[in-house]
Structure 1
């Protein structure tokens, strides 16, 4: 079974970073849930909308998270390419892949308490 995860990420080019943070924080009014050096997470109605600062990015890119008890079987079912070179998956059982339009998907096992 495959279902939505709790994280949505927008990979943001360096030259758009301040404008993007201000847009979601100040114009939309989303509450900051977590902040790190190159990422800021906003509460998005029970989900976390992450803005990730990516210096080598030319344009914004949307990445989505999916949950599956068996990420290998989910990947086979989706018929999607393995894209594990995108980012390291430390402490996560899953795989990076993409949909037919190229949207990056993280298909992973939920941790205890995540659903």
Structure 2
């Protein structure tokens, strides 16, 4: 397993604009990509996504981990499969979580 390329901060609707402005204007991170409900910032070799989640009441941090065999990796971790969290479109892998509840996208890296 190895670290992925994305970290997401899931932010409640009422905190999203201020959080995006904080990372853009105060921290000074360059915007890498903007979507309707997400802004991605250059964060070293990673992309830090600030995701707007209307039905959420608190902030969550979600990370990405790569493995060539996500099914076997999930078994080795002994972590729960949490694929109900978000659809995985065009991704080979699973949502899971660590013992503290941090959400992990455990997936096979797609080669460009």
Instruction: Identify the TM-score tier after normalising by the shorter chain.
Output: over 0.9
Pair 1:55 & 2:44 matched: no
Question: SS at 1:58's partner residue?
Answer: coil
Normalised TM-score (structure 2): 0.98
State how many pairs are aligned: 112
* Displacement after TM superposition at 1:18 (Å): 1.2
* Displacement after TM superposition at 1:52 (Å): 0.5
* Displacement after TM superposition at 1:98 (Å): 0.1
Question: SS at 1:23's partner residue?
Answer: helix
Question: SS at 1:18's partner residue?
Answer: helix
Which residue in the other structure is 1:67 paired with? Answer: 66
Which residue in the other structure is 1:6 paired with? Answer: 5
Distance 2:77 2:109 in 1: 18
Query: Structure 1: 5+ residue runs without aligned partners?
Result: none
Distance 2:50 2:92 in 1: 23
Which residue in the other structure is 1:81 paired with? Answer: 80
Question: SS at 1:110's partner residue?
Answer: coil
Distance 2:64 2:80 in 1: 15
Which residue in the other structure is 1:100 paired with? Answer: 99
Query: Structure 2: 5+ residue runs without aligned partners?
Result: none
Distance 1:41 1:53 in 2: 12
The ranges of structure 1 where at least 4 consecutive aligned residues each deviate by more than 4 angstroms after the TM superposition are: none
Q: List per-residue Cα deviations over 1:48-68 (Å, max 9, x = no partner).
A: 000000000101100000000
- Give me the CA root mean square deviation: 0.6
Distance 1:81 1:109 in 2: 18
Which residue in the other structure is 2:35 paired with? Answer: 36
